[in-house]
Structure 1
């Protein structure tokens, strides 16, 4: 698995994941907030399956 998630994308995914999980734990949004595990996991791995299937990447381009 080559990384296809850039730095800014990772930060946003972590923030959204943590916010959703925190909202679930406080009882604000119910069990649907556990979906926050998905963006959190993809950010920690640095790889997103839909990005890979679509050939999309937010990683910085390496100069030769």
Structure 2
């Protein structure tokens, strides 16, 4: 499993994940548990540095290293 989530993307995912988990847990008066689930997925993908949807669509926010040939990886 090769990482496909860059540093800025990871930071955004972790912060967004924590906010959504907080909203899902602390918002009263409705069934907002799904916000916590989405937040948990965002938090995990940010912590691990890999997103399955990015792989499916061929997207990567990781910077390429100079002098590497992407066709050989």
**TM-score, L = length of structure 1:** 0.89
Aligned CA RMSD, in angstroms, stands at 1.3
Q: Does residue 6 of structure 1 match 2:6?
A: yes
Find the counterpart in structure 2 of residue 59 from structure 1: 62
Q: CA deviation at 1:2?
A: 0.3
Tell me the distance in 2 between the aligned counterparts of 1:23 and 1:56. Answer: 29
Q: CA deviation at 1:62?
A: 0.6
Q: Which has the larger radius of gyration?
A: 2
Q: Runs (4+) of structure 1 moved beyond 3 Å?
A: none
Q: Does residue 47 of structure 1 match 2:47?
A: no
Tell me the distance in 2 between the aligned counterparts of 1:55 and 1:33. Answer: 26
Which 5+ residue runs of structure 2 have no aligned equivalent?
A: 68-73
Counting matched residue pairs gives 64
Q: Secondary structure at the match of 1:13?
A: helix
